[in-house]
Amino acid sequence: MLSKNIEKALNNQIKIEAESSQIYLAMACWAEVKGLEGVAGFMYDQSNEERDHMLKLVKFVNERGGHAQISELAAPNVTFNSFKEMFEKLFEHEVFVSNSINELVHITLQEKDYATHNFLQWYVSEQIEEEAMARTILDKINLIGDDKGGLYLFDRDIQQLTVSTASTEDPQ
């Protein structure tokens, strides 16, 4: 059974994950109308992934005796000055989500809710990957600079991007 405090915190995270999905959907739309099909596809995939993260939380709250709340969402930014700025915003948002997950984990430890703590470990690992991916993309964008050919290749290759992190690597 979830405490009211943890239920409230989880419902806040549900909202954050839903807003994340909307943010990536807005980024996908922006990229698509700019002709960045690869970036758009990547962002559509990210939007779906964030929605899946939200649904996982919804199911958990309901299964643990709480009531998942679906709330109004903040409208995402829909315009960007450049694709670099868009990815910088993506990185900033992932750091924000990581901080939110960390705060949620802290609350579960304070309340000795080890079942929820255990459940949230998946999100902790996921955020390590999300931040690493955003950093890798920004590094590639900085390498490209203003090179249009580089942008073309980046747009083509981004859908194949996979990032290996310490949490996903198989220790030898």
Please report, in range form, the residues annotated as the binding site for Fe cation: 17, 50, 53, 94, 127
Burial (0-12, 13-18, 19+ Cβ within 10 Å), 74: exposed
Annotated binding site: 17, 50, 53, 94, 127
Check: CB of residue 42 under 8 Å from CB of residue 161: yes
Amino acid identity of residue 13, one-letter, is Q
Amino acid identity of residue 131, one-letter, is E
CA separation for the pair 5, 167 (Å, rounded): 29
Tell me how many helices (H) and strands (E) the chain has: 5, 0
- 112: which 2 tokens? 């000795």
Per-residue buried b or exposed e for 33-54, using 16+ beta carbons within 10 Å of the residue's own CB: eeebebbbbbbbebbebbbebb
